[in-house]
Chain A
Amino acid sequence: MTLRLLGETPALPLHTAGKYVAGAYIVLFLLVLIYVAVMAVRLGRIERQLGELLELTERPPVAKDPSAARSGELEAEALDPVHAESTPA
C-alpha cells in the first residue's frame, strides 16, 4: 500500500534547487533537534536535583547545639533502634 502510494506520487525535481530546499528544511529540523537535545539535558538535571532532594529528606537533621543533637539522637534511637546502634555516638 505504502509502496504503491510512493510509486504514484510525482517525482520531485531535485536536480537544480533540490539542495537549497533540502538545506532549508534541514535547518528547521536541526533547530528543533537541538532544542529537544537541550530540553533533554535540562530534564536530566531536574531529575538529578530531584534525586538530591529525596536524599535530603531521608538524611537525619544536622543539629547545631549539643542538647538538640542529643535529643535528636534519642528520638532517632526511639524510632529506629537498629540504625541508632550502628551510628557512632
Chain B
Amino acid sequence: MRTLSIATVAAMALGLGLVFFYAPLEAEQGFLQKIFYVHVPLAIVALCGFVLGGLLAIQHLRTRDSRWDMRSYVVIHMSLIFAVGTLITGSIWAKGSWGHWWVWSEPTLVSFLIIFLLYATYQPMRFAIEDPERQARYASVFAITAGAFVPLNYMAVNLSTAYVHPRVFSSTSNLPGSMALTLLVSLLAMVLLFATLCKYELTAKHARGQLRALRRRLTEEAETPARRPRSAAPSPEPLRRAASDFHPSTAATARSIGGSSA
C-alpha cells in the first residue's frame, strides 16, 4: 500500500507540473482549458468505476463471496465521490466558458447528472435492507443494472444530434503530443488516486470487521468461563483463531495481545 501511495503522490505532482508548466495553452479556450486535465480524468475514472462496480457485483453473485460485494460497494462509493468532483469542476468550467453554472440543454451534462443521481440512490437502497445477505444481493443487482446503463448512456449521448459539449479530448490522437502526454499522466494520476483511496477504504472496513469479530469472540469467551482452559487470564487462542479467519495483519495483532495477556 505504501508503494501505491507514493506512486499516487508522485504521479499527481508530475501531472500538476505538466499541466501548469509543460502543456501549451489551447488556442480557443486559453488557460481555462487547464480545467480539463482534472475534469476529464475525474469523469473517466468515475464512469469506469461505476462499470467496475457492476463487474465486481457480477462476481459476487457468481461466487456468493461477500468480499466481492464489499469491493463493489467501495468502488461505487469512491466513484460517487469522483462524480461529485466531476460535476463541480464541470460547472466551474461552464461558468468560465459559457457564463452559466449549469446548462440543461446540454446532453452530456444532464446524462452525467442522471448517472450521478442514479448512483446516489445506491447507498440509501442498500442500507434500507437489514438482512445482510439480502442487502448484498439487492445491491449487486442494482450495481449490475446501473453499471450496464453507464455505457449505454454514453453511447446514446454520443449518437444524439444535439451534440454541443466541447470535445477537447474526444481522443488523444487529435491532440498535440505535449497535451496528450499531460492528459495521459493526469489520467494515470487519477487512476492511482482512485486505487489508493479504494485500498484505504477496504483496509479500514477490513480492520473494523476484524475488530468486531475479535470483540464478539472475547465477549463470548468472557461470558462462558467454564468452557475456557483453566487459567485466570483469558486465553489468547480465541483471538488468534478469530484473527486467522480474516487477515494476516490482525493475526499479528492478536498474537501480540495474546502474548501480553498470557
A78 neighbours in B (Cβ, 8 Å): 232
Partner of A61, one of B81, B89, B200, B228: B228
B231 neighbours in A (Cβ, 8 Å): 75, 79
The answer on a CB contact under 8 Å between A28 and B89 is yes
The answer on a CB contact under 8 Å between B204 and A35 is no
Interface: B257 (CB within 8 A): yes
Interface: A12 (CB within 8 A): yes
Interface: A68 (CB within 8 A): yes
B84 neighbours in A (Cβ, 8 Å): 31
Knowing A24-B38, A53-B211, say if A75 contacts B232 (CB, 8 Å): yes
Most chain-B CB neighbours within 10 Å: which of A25, A43, A79? A25
Shortest beta-carbon distance, A67 to chain B, in Å?
A: 10
Partner of A56, one of B16, B38, B96, B219: B219
Knowing A24-B35, A28-B38, A61-B228, say if A42 contacts B204 (CB, 8 Å): yes
The answer on a CB contact under 8 Å between A57 and B42 is no
A60 neighbours in B (Cβ, 8 Å): 232
Cα A39 to Cα B208 in complex, Å, equals 12
The answer on a CB contact under 8 Å between B30 and A13 is yes
Cα A65 to Cα B207 in complex, Å, equals 35
The answer on a CB contact under 8 Å between A53 and B31 is no
Interface: A7 (CB within 8 A): no
A68 neighbours in B (Cβ, 8 Å): 225-226
The answer on a CB contact under 8 Å between B214 and A53 is yes
Interface string of B216-250 (1 = CB under 8 A from A): 00110111011010111110100100000000000
The answer on a CB contact under 8 Å between B222 and A24 is no
Partner of A17, one of B30, B214, B218, B257: B30
The answer on a CB contact under 8 Å between B253 and A21 is no
The answer on a CB contact under 8 Å between A53 and B92 is no
B96 neighbours in A (Cβ, 8 Å): 17, 20-21
The answer on a CB contact under 8 Å between B239 and A57 is yes
Knowing A20-B92, A24-B38, A28-B42, say if A12 contacts B20 (CB, 8 Å): yes
Cα A61 to Cα B220 in complex, Å, equals 10
Most chain-B CB neighbours within 10 Å: which of A10, A14, A17? A17
The answer on a CB contact under 8 Å between A53 and B218 is yes
Interface string of A46-71 (1 = CB under 8 A from B): 10011011101111111110001000
Can you name the residue of chain A whose Cβ is closest to the Cβ of B211? A49
Interface: A33 (CB within 8 A): no
The answer on a CB contact under 8 Å between B35 and A20 is yes
Interface: B93 (CB within 8 A): yes
